[in-house]
Amino acid sequence: MAFFLRFLSLLLLLGAIAAGTVDSIVSVASSKVILTSFEQDWLALSPDSLPLAKQWVEHYIHPEAWRSGLAVIIAQPAFVVLLGLSLLFWMIGYRRPRPQALLV
C-alpha cells in the first residue's frame, strides 16, 4: 500500500511540474503572469467528469462541502493543488527507515 501511495505521489508531482512548466511558458510568451486553475485543467481534460463529481459530492456528502470546500480548492492554480496532493499522498505512504544495528 505504501508503494502505491508513493507512486501516486510521484505521478502527482510530475503533473505539478508539467502544469507549472506550461504556466511559465504561457506567462513568458504573453509577458504577464498567467496561472491556470485546477478547474480549467480538469475541464480541458475531461469536461463531463467535473459536473459528475460536483453532483456526487453534493448528494453523498453535503452541498456545502462543494461550495465552501472543494470549489475553493479547485479554483487554485493547478500546480499548487497537484503539489499539495503529492505531499499528502507522500506523507500517508511514508515509512520511517528501520533502525540499523550497531556494528561492534
pLDDT at 99: 83
- The boundaries of the domain holding residue 86 are 1-34+78-94
Cell numbers placing 31: 509577458
Let me know if residue 101 belongs to a domain: no
Please count the other Cβ atoms lying within 10 Å of the Cβ belonging to residue 89. Answer: 20
**DSSP 8-state assignment for residue 70:** I
User: Same domain, yes or no, for 2 and 26?
Assistant: yes
Sign of the Cα pseudo-torsion (48, 21, 82, 70, in order) = negative
pLDDT for 95 beyond 90: no
Orientation of helix 2-30 relative to helix 78-92, angle to 10°: 160
Residue type at 35? L
pLDDT for 83 beyond 90: yes
pLDDT at 57: 93
Let me know if residue 44 belongs to a domain: yes
Residue type at 20? G
Let me know if residue 2 belongs to a domain: yes
pLDDT for 101 beyond 90: no
- 6-61 pLDDT tens trace: 999 999 999 999 999 999 999 999 999 999 999 999 999 999 999 999 999 999 99
